[in-house]
Structure 1
Amino acid sequence: MKKRIILTLLLIMVAFIFVPFIPVLSFTETHTDSPIPHYLSIKKEKNFQIIFTHTIHKTDVIENYRVFNNKEILLLSMEYSDVAIGMPSYAEEGQTLLYEDGKYTLSYDRSVLPHFTLFIGNVEDQLFLQYQQKKYDLKEGLEKGKSYLFEVKKLSLLEVMKGANLNEQ
């Protein structure tokens, strides 16, 4: 009987270490054999933003997202002030473009992404992830000149211990 209890407790501890259960916003370098997971734990708040300075216009672009079904990313809208190079000047099907107070807001009816790749440019323009009223400088937490797969996923306790928590910047 004691052996069964000990074995059961041991199995529970092993599962606790190796089974993914911690929801995170994850950045995984794409061109390496053994990437270090960079992550930010997801709390109850499901909305987040990526804020960057457009390299040509030198104006801020704010992309608004929501964690969807605890594994996908819902692109809600994009806000910007210039429609020249690289920024849409009209809405396509499933989109709405509004112009108010010198800002364009491109909203998406339903743009669900399983993941996307984010390139950390080797320029001095800003790049932030904003979550729960806090900004995380991605150019400090991630390596410039590298591409990262951004996704919502669950990490095991072991992966969390091996990874780099963006909250500890």
Structure 2
Amino acid sequence: MKKVLILMMVLTLVVLLILFVPVKQSLVFYKENTTEIEAYLPLENQETFQIIFTHSIHLTDVVEKYVVLDNQHIQQYEMIYEEFGIGMPSNAQGEEEFHSENGRYHITNMNNVFPEIKLRNGKAVSEHRLVWGPEHEYITEFNNYFEPGAWFTIKVDELSLWQMIQGVRIHE
């Protein structure tokens, strides 16, 4: 009887460890300012992703490029857009470089580092997209995972199996 009790305790401990110990680094989309996981995308350090949105006034695409840093922060390293105006930079700052190519403006060499990003899925023009993969070959629309107008906090976190089960994995 004592052996069965010890075995049950060990099995319970193993199951708890498997479920609740963080195992996978991911780009996590938390609902608003909560710890409720809406969706996640497994990403390792130095992997890149892009958020593309249609500017609500200019109605042209804006591409923001990011990389996951070793300290689980997110660095914006490039921005591409077609129109100057409301909400868009008119030039580079500091060490950044500004140039135009094929009718689009590029700001490169950006070093904007964030522990988290607060983002609202477009409501008036709901065309946000997430791009990732070695050759940026995967793309999905935010509307596949979030309601138009929803806002969330994006962070890089280690997720446990339990957290991954509760959230929705973003896939190609």
Q: TM-score over 0.5 for the alignment?
A: yes
How far apart are 1:18 and its partner, in Å? 0.6
Question: Which residues of 2 match residues 72-151 of structure 1 at below 5 A?
Answer: 72-132=73-133, 133-151=137-155
CA–CA separation in structure 2 for the residues paired with 1:82 and 1:63: 14
Name the % identity.
32
Question: Deviation at 1:43?
Answer: 5.4
Q: How does 1:28-47 map to 2 (within 5 A)?
A: 28-30=30-32, 35-42=36-43, 46-47=47-48
Structure number with the higher strand fraction is 1
Q: Which amino acid counterpart does residue 14 of structure 1 have in structure 2?
A: L
From 17, 32, 55, the equivalent of 2:19 is 17
SS of the residue corresponding to residue 163 of structure 2 reads: helix
Local SS of the residue matching 1:130: strand
Gaps of 5+ in 2: none
Q: Measure the CA separation in 2 of the matches of 1:109 and 1:124.
A: 27
Question: What number of residue pairs does the alignment pair up?
Answer: 167
Residue type matched to 2:38 in 1?
P
Measured in 2, the distance between the counterparts of 1:93 and 1:149 equals 27
- Answering whether residue 157 of structure 2 is matched by residue 153 of structure 1, we say yes
Q: Deviations over 1:10-57 (max 9, x none)?
A: 42331111112211111111156x734311122587011101111111
Query: Separation in 2 of the partners of 1:109 and 1:49?
Result: 14
Task: State the TM-score, normalized to the length of structure 2.
Answer: 0.85
The CA RMSD measured in Å over matched residues stands at 2.4
**What SS is found at the alignment partner of 1:17?**
helix
Assess, with a 3 A threshold, how the Cα gap between structure 1 residues 53 and 109 changes in structure 2: closer, same or farther. Answer: closer
The superposition leaves residues 53-101 of structure 1 with CA deviations (integer Å, 9 ceiling, x where unpaired) of 1111111111111111151111110001111221111111232211222
Deviation at 1:5, TM superposition (A): 6.7
Which structure 1 residue ranges, 5 or more long, are not aligned? none
1:42 and 1:36 map into 2 onto residues whose CA distance is 16
1:112-152 CA-partner distances (Å, limit 9, x unpaired): 21111011121244110001111111122112222100111
